[in-house]
Amino acid sequence: MPKEKAVDEAFRALERAVELDKGEVGCTKNVAEVIKSYSRAVLLFEEVLKDEKEEQVCNLLSDKVLEFKGRIDELYARLPSAPLASVMEVGEALPVANLVLLQDEDEDELARKSSAEEKEGVRDSAHSSVEELDTKELDLRQEQRVRQRKLGHDAAAALSYALGLDEKLSESASRVPQESPKFKVLVEESKDVEESYLEAAQNYLASLKLMELSLESNNLASGAGSITAVKNRIAEILDRVEQLKARKFAPDNQQQQQQQQQQQQSHSQLQQNRKQLEGGTGKALSQREIDVLKRSSVIGRKTFMPFLDSDIRPANFSTLGLAPFEDPDGLLSLSNSQKSHFYKFARPSEIASRHSKHVCMYQNISPYTIKQTLVTDCSFIASLCISAAYERRFRKRLVTAIIYPQTSLGKPVYNECGKYIVKLWLNGVARRVIIDDRLPVDRNYNLLCSHTKSSTHVELWVSLLEKAFLKLTGAMSYAFPGSNSGIDLYCLTGWIPERLYFAGSAGLTGEHETKPEKIWQRLHSAFSYGDCLTTASVSPDISDSAADQVGLVTQHAYGVLDVREVRSGRFLFMKNPWASKAWKGRFSPHDISWNERIAKELHYDYEKARQCTDDGLFWICWDDFKRYFTSVHLNWNPHLFKYKYTAHDFWPKDKGPDNDKYCVDENPQFVLMPGKESMRKKASFYILLSRHVDLLEQQGVETNDFLTCFVYDSSKSLTKKITYPHEKLILRGVYSGNPHYLVRIDSSEEFPCMNLVIRQYKKRRDITFSLQVYSTESFSFGPMTVGQGSLQRIKGAFDPSGGPSGRSTAFHTNPQYRVVVKGDAGGGGERNVEFTIKANPKLCVSLSLLRGGGRKDYISTADEVFCSGDYRAGVACASGRLRLDTPYTLVVSTWNAGETGSFIIESAGKDIEIRALRMEGEGAKYKYKAEGTFASVGCANYGRYTENVSIDFTTANAGELFGRLTTKGRGVDNTPINFTLFQLSEGQHHLPPHASSIARDCGVVVSTNEGVYKSGGATIRATKVKAGCTYTIVVSTFEPTFNLGFEIKLYCSVELRGLGNKMLVRIK
């Protein structure tokens, strides 16, 4: 048939349908006739679409087809409420409405009517197919038609019977109390109703199979709408059966008890529902994660449970014939701009009645009909526009998939009971938001919330989605404090949010900025493949007056509906959610920049656009977009990634330091290990950190919670937490106050294991969060656990610090600890351990583990097992393997001697015994000290050894003596010194001239380092002294030295007497 004739027939069919629709449609039979007329129009328009090449015409016709199908769905919805309809009317109408292939007419009648119907403008493609069949095929077709006609009549009869029983049962149930004996009879009768409905559904299914077979054998596309209609009818029947099963005629209070029990069981169901909640591995949630989700489900005084499939059973949307549902959480409060126009909250049926319109969930999903009104949620409406554009363009359910109740085909429907559940994403998982359909209106019953522009219908999808969104994220109020479209798109779709900032005009790119060319490449490719939803925000740096001159609004969100790169340049098609105030700059409808070539490349009729009213839609070139828009929000389709894992965690304020600038080992950490195939293909990982929000933040209060995620290389220590924030760093995060922060990183064979460390700028309060990891290839992921045993903490203090070994003569005064790793009964072997010291960041600290188990004067290479390396501000960490049941010495120190401050030592490992060693001289009964400045004449090599500083004393009793010599002043660490104790014989008052530190014949009792001169200090080991003897201490340097400061300390078990030169004084 010629194209022009086909178009004429399609429009004539449409005119007839519209004419019937305007008439009286009170009875079911008339409704069925209207459905039949619209169905015929749909078939004809779909046929025209096959041959249409012009894009604009295709879009126009597609819109019409969607509009007709929406009206058909609405009309079908009037048939199912079956108990209120006439049994005979419905029974007669259904086969005609659903089986558009005219099952009441056989093949001969179809052949006779073919030419007549073609003259009347009703094209039936089945006729031509029948004429081409040979006799055998025609006989087969006729047999199928007869069977199909019989099944259709049987289905109609069964449905009529079921509807009659259902109506009678509903009337009786409303009058019979549960305790009455008749109640049991009603329960049994309800089973008969269910069986009758199921019989009707089975007959429709059998008829449906024959319809599909007929269409397939004749290659007919025009019957697709008929098949869809029958499927919808079957779905509605089965939905009614589910309602009856769930209903059981329970009274109101029992229904409420069931709902309360369901709510109480929801958290226990979470344990087995990770896969449903997050699309993850299916592994059960840990108790800690369940506690996190419980905590984040309560916002203010409202509870928003995670969404589960059990929430959307048909029975959950019925009020059992009682008054329409009213949300027990109450009505949303109004914004100031709404209050001045507000009249009442009205039901959709009231609004439609006042405007002589029909109520439906939607006619067709389109971004062009959405209008934001008096609610300041531009970011949400922009997000809704983009989602609608995606659904329209790719024919995939997105926003219509989250509104319930739905048919079995997943289409949301208008519920006369007024109860809806909306699935929205917040605080790590999809949430169940229960609402009613009471909406604010003015005195003329015009909606004061966002809605669609339709002259014939009150569409609910925009208003209900907005209401659910504001209930969840707007603190139960239309006075929305504002958000950004990336956050709102995530809430609406669950798609992964990312925010891109344009680099500065100077060409410099900060850590949080992206070069414009890279932004364009990602925008263009993502939009081409339908993997991404895009919105943009006007720069806050532009003044209101400057923005107004070009038709923009500062800090306002716009939807990006199209991204094009053509010969004439780069362009974006955008929408202001206000559905007004479009762009006035270059390439606005009235701008002179347009010409025929550019318009053709963009498929845009600017002449027509100039004649239309301002609808907020506009093209803008890439250069102007970069100038006026500061950031782009991208939301990525999570179904791009085959593999996903989600972790939920709690970060208390008192865990770790307030500022993690120096240490991150107490921060939440997670291990990410790409699989071999992932590393080979360099697969990408999208890591989404979502901070859970609370009521204060939803009310617009600034919480100043700035989180980020750093990625570290942990390939060499799979079980070791990251301690130092700047070492082994792969990717540096940027602190963000946005609830969502995305990290994108490619896997590499260079990093087979990575640590994800959550960091926070200046902790202020407890935080709960979710971490989601997406990838196209397999990976392992989970929280970091040391797995080496218990963690011990020991408090200590530098009082003061002795400084570092080799740089300070007071190193021996540093805190020291004896460490033993206890072995099993068998003994032997080694074990991994880790030690960390944490102190005030003003102190640069270090730790070393040495062999021995006793106090150490210095660190020797031979004794050192492992150390923390360079001195670091506030924290130092060291790890290694220690032999079991072997004593070691742990020494902590600061870079500068004499510093004071407290610290904590943490030991991680199995069966570690650690105890503080007593400070030098601690517990000694008598303590003495000598200090001063002297001129040393050098060792015995210079012939004047006995002229060095000496200190004489006698002992009253026998005992022990321990002594230490330290030097003070410039260059002391390089001055070799010695400290020797001599015993004088009876009657001897002076050392002989040939005395030296190694001359045993001169009465040497003990000498530091066995008489060898050494820099950095010297000690004499614990030495026994006799009662009533005289002793002399000689202090010397290897070479003559002048103006050298020194200090001697003696720790004794006996009292020293006759302190000849009075240099030695007793101390406490």
Q: Where are the alpha helices (DSSP H) in 308-414?
A: 336-339, 348-354, 378-394
Q: How far apart are CA 695 and CA 472, in angstroms?
A: 10
Q: Which of 358, 451, 556, 648 does the annotation list as catalytic?
A: 556
Classify 774 as helix, strand or coil: strand
CA 628 to chain centre: 29
Classify 894 as helix, strand or coil: strand
Cβ–Cβ < 8 Å for 457, 359: yes
CA distances from 339 to 347, 438, 511, 797 (A): 18, 16, 45, 64
Classify 487 as helix, strand or coil: helix
Nearest one of 704, 697, 709 to 734, comparing CA atoms:
709
Q: Which residues of 520-533 are buried (b: 16+ CB within 10 A; e: fewer)?
A: bebbbebbeeeebb
* 512 tagged catalytic: no
The DSSP call for residue 716 is: T
DSSP 627-688: HHEEEEEEEE-GGG-SEEEEEEEEE-TTSS-S-TTS--TTS-EEEEEE-HHHHHHT-EEEEE
* Sign of the CA dihedral running 310, 197, 321, 90: positive
Q: How far apart are CA 445 and CA 162, in angstroms?
A: 39
Classify 435 as helix, strand or coil: strand
Q: Which of 273, 316, 364, 576 does the annotation list as catalytic?
A: 576
Integer-rounded Cα radius of gyration of the chain: 43
Cβ–Cβ < 8 Å for 586, 624: yes
Cβ–Cβ < 8 Å for 1050, 961: yes
Classify 839 as helix, strand or coil: strand
Q: β-strand 496-502 against 569-575: which pairing, if any? A: unpaired
**Single-letter residue type at 295:** R
Nearest one of 751, 775, 754 to 683, comparing CA atoms:
775
Residue 726 CB contacts under 8 Å (≥ 6 apart), including other chains: none
Residue 454, classified by CB atoms within 10 Å of its CB into exposed (0-12), middle (13-18) or buried (19+), is middle
Q: Which of 203, 316, 378, 877 does the annotation list as catalytic?
A: 378
* Sign of the CA dihedral running 808, 811, 814, 819: positive
* 556 tagged catalytic: yes
Classify 283 as helix, strand or coil: coil
Q: How far apart are CA 1007 and CA 996, in angstroms?
A: 10
Phi, psi of 914 (to 5 degrees): -140, 130
* 253 tagged catalytic: no
First to last CA, the chain: 117
- Cis-peptide into 177, omega within 30 deg: no
Q: How far apart are CA 1017 and CA 967, in angstroms?
A: 7
Active site residues: 378, 556, 576
